[in-house]
């Protein structure tokens, strides 16, 4: 299985390259470019959320615990004394960092349903719906956000599968097939739930035809073709 640094670096490079491509094609703006790079990189770490000792889950719960504690203090800052606010801060952080984290790690198994294609598709489509319906972002931007998150996750799963091949004597390791999975008989009821949620999200998602029409517009790729090489190199080729 690929380690944290490999997942982080490869997801960043892939998402950065693709983000630059759609940016130069005029399909996203400056802020959209930065968000797509960030989402693709985050997506490259998401499948390891079910690993109790993984860096992403520890970092994620640490950040979430701080935000949760900060939110509690900000909400009650005018009504409680200083001592009560300090106790609330510590209690809120401790609840998220230790109680919720313990429950989450107890209920999840590494390379379980979270480490699967349908789960990552749910996260990607969910982000698309949230961006379009909740944040009222443009349709093209919303689809790119969801696709970059999902694409980063697919980079993660692909790396794990590649690392399951012993290249020295060209044989499969025992971990082969446990990363890029769509279904497991032992978790059939979980997968039934996942595919039900996924079907509902597909039904509720913004019109994909409009996004595809924008993506396949020849004018966008003509713009990319013009700016793909530096002027010096283009003049040398002429």
**Residue 226 confidence class, pLDDT cut points 50, 70, 90:** low
32 SS3 class:
helix
- 51: tokens are 């690993």
Q: What is the pLDDT of residues 106-143, one digit of tens each?
A: 655 555 677 788 888 988 999 899 889 988 889 989 99
**Which distant-in-sequence residues (6+ apart) come within 8 Å of 71 by Cβ?**
92
Distance CA 131, CA 138 (A): 8
Q: What is the pLDDT of residues 33-43, one digit of tens each?
A: 888 888 888 88
Contact by Cβ (8 Å): 110, 50: yes
Contact by Cβ (8 Å): 7, 45: yes
- Whether the per-residue pLDDT at 234 is higher than 60: the answer is no
Phi, psi of 165 (to 5 degrees): -100, 125
- Whether the per-residue pLDDT at 228 is higher than 50: the answer is yes
pLDDT recorded at residue 232: 42
Residue among 157, 112, 117, 164 at smallest CA distance from 7: 157
Average pLDDT, the chain: 77
Distance CA 89, CA 180 (A): 40
Of 72-76, 119-123, 185-189, the range with the lowest mean pLDDT is 185-189
Task: Give the orientation angle of helix 139-162 with respect to helix 117-129, to 10 degrees.
Answer: 160
pLDDT recorded at residue 97: 77
**Which distant-in-sequence residues (6+ apart) come within 8 Å of 4 by Cβ?**
45, 48, 54, 55, 56
pLDDT recorded at residue 144: 92
Give 165's DSSP letter: E
**Residue 50 confidence class, pLDDT cut points 50, 70, 90:** low
Specify the pTM: 0.70
- Which own/partner pairs from 188-192 qualify as long-range (CB within 8 Å, at least 24 positions apart)? 190/112, 190/113, 191/113, 191/116, 191/118
From residue 99, how far is each of 60, 92, 114 by CA, in Å?
Answer: 15, 10, 20
Domain ranges of the chain: 4-52+112-226, 53-107
């Amino acid at each position: 299985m690929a380690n944290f640094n490999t997942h982080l670096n490869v997801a960043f490079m892939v998402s950065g390259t693709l983000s630059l491509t759609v940016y130069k094609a005029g399909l996203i703006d400056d802020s959209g470019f930065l968000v797509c790079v960030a989402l693709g990189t985050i997506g490259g770490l998401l499948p390891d959320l079910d690993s109790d000792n993984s860096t992403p889950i520890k970092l994620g719960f640490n950040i979430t615990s701080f935000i949760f504690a900060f939110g509690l203090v900000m909400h009650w800052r005018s009504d409680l004394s200083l001592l009560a606010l300090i106790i609330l801060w510590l209690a809120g952080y401790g609840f998220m960092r230790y109680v919720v984290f313990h429950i989450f790690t107890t209920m999840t198994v590494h390379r379980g349903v979270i480490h699967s294609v349908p789960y990552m598709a749910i996260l990607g489509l969910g982000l698309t719906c949230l961006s379009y319906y909740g944040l009222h972002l443009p349709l093209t931007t919303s689809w790119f956000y969801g696709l970059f998150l999902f694409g980063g996750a697919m980079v993660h799963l692909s790396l794990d599968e590649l690392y399951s091949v012993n290249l020295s004597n060209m044989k499969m390791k025992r971990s082969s097939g446990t990363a890029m999975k769509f279904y497991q008989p032992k978790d059939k009821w979980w997968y039934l739930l996942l595919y039900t949620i996924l079907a509902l999200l597909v039904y509720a998602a913004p019109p994909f035809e409009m996004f595809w029409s924008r993506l396949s517009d020849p004018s966008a790729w003509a713009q990319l073709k013009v700016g793909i090489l530096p002027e010096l190199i283009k003049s040398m080729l002429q």
